[in-house]
Structure 1
Amino acid sequence: MRSQVRWRLCWENELQLSDHIELADFFRKTYGPTGAFNAKPFEGSRSWAGARPELRVIGYDSSGVAAHIGALRRFIKVGGVDLLVAELGLYGVRPDLEGLGISHSIRVMYPVLHQLGAPFAFGAVRHALRNHVERFCRSGLATIVSGVRVRSTLPDVYLDLPPTRVEDVLAVVLPIGRPITDWPTGTIIERNGPEL
């Protein structure tokens, strides 16, 4: 039987060292099964992979961190149109709680997304997560925008790699201050920074 999950909404500067250590362990255990490379950014006490979020929703239960999602306001370019978004990322659910649902963490964050002043929230997910994300989109809070690629900078510069990468992903868009019909058309989204 699952224990009760309590949600904490916090700004990045409210996190203590102990929070970062606990979150880094959570991400290593959550992302590690998908490939050792995916857990690597969370070595030590680092609780972010690329860009650092400014806002986090963290779910806790009697076993510790149960779920997490982060948000970061930034300008992206969609088909040549500059657009302020609250980028969502660093989503994870502890493996023993699969099915807890992204919708729970988004519903906790949703009122704050309105306060952030961004007309849309945006996230990019792998195609392997399509069924998971489609279940969330059925709630009516979000729309999947397919057929787009996202160009991002790498979080670090390496002599043997290009400084940017382009990924074929599913873009998930949440209309916050404007209707989804106002989302610009385009086949490439320029993140102009590392992914969250």
Structure 2
Amino acid sequence: MCSEVRWKLCWENELELADHVELAEFFRKTYGPTGAFNAKPFEGSRSWAGARPELRAIGYDSNGVAAHMGLLRRFIKVGTVDLLVAELGLYGVRADLERLGISHSIRVMLPTLQELDVPFAFGTVRHELRKHIARFGRHGPVTVFSDILTQSTLPEPRLDKPPTRIDDALVIVLPVGRPISDWPTGEIIDRNGPEL
């Protein structure tokens, strides 16, 4: 059934309003079951939660959007080292496809990562997704760090909250242009912006 999914890579400026509306609905349905707060950023036609991706891999099947992965190139600080990465995030798979191995199709992004000439792809996920990421990592050189904190700014400044937040999430690193041994050490990663 995974072969029925067709993938489209598109830059953010290539998306039409109808694409954003369809993606926003996809994210509300995908993230909503994990808590109403998680679906809230996708109200109306907003198809991103924090930082806006610059490139998207969108999987479609006969029922519409089946999966999504966003990419944003940025400099992060790992400990004291500034490092260019392609942050991967805004990941989702439609509930009826979760157990069919569709996450492996996200590899459609790998040739693009190589073309972008970034040393690493980086992302974070909740600890509850550890087994899912471990399965994904069996098929490629993904390294998972569980003892590194990540600091991000809030997507929008608020009077009732501090401007930054620190998360204890799993950090995922995929070597692209450099070996994993070149990944710097540090107890905290600063995104210098909102999470993707």
Aligned to 2:102: 101
Deviation at 1:3, TM superposition (A): 7.3
Aligned to 1:50: 50
Q: Which runs of 4+ in 1 moved over 4 A?
A: none
Question: Residue type of the partner of 2:114?
Answer: H
How many residue pairs are counted as aligned between the two chains? 195
Deviation at 1:103, TM superposition (A): 2.3
Q: Deviations over 1:30-74 (max 9, x none)?
A: 000000000000000000000000000000000000000000000
Mapped to 1, the partners of 2:194 and 2:5 lie a distance apart of: 30
RMSD, aligned CA:
1.1
| TM-score, structure 2 normalization | 0.97
Q: 1:162 is paired with a residue of what secondary structure?
A: coil
Aligned to 1:179: 179
CA contact (8 A) 1:53 1:71 kept: yes
| TM-score, structure 1 normalization | 0.97
Aligned to 2:141: 141
Aligned to 2:29: 29
Mapped to 2, the partners of 1:182 and 1:160 lie a distance apart of: 39
Q: 2:20 is paired with a residue of what secondary structure?
A: helix
Question: Residue type of the partner of 2:123?
Answer: G
Aligned to 2:122: 122
Mapped to 2, the partners of 1:28 and 1:144 lie a distance apart of: 27
Unaligned runs of 5+ in 1: none
Mapped to 1, the partners of 2:3 and 2:22 lie a distance apart of: 19
Q: 1:98 is paired with a residue of what secondary structure?
A: helix
Q: Deviations over 1:137-162 (max 9, x none)?
A: 11123110220000000001111100
Taking only the aligned residue pairs, the percentage that are identical comes to 72
Unaligned runs of 5+ in 2: none
Question: Residue type of the partner of 1:134?
Answer: A
CA contact (8 A) 2:75 2:85 kept: yes
CA contact (8 A) 1:127 1:170 kept: yes
Deviation at 1:118, TM superposition (A): 1.1
Q: Deviations over 1:75-101 (max 9, x none)?
A: 000011000000000000000001233
Q: 2:123 is paired with a residue of what secondary structure?
A: strand
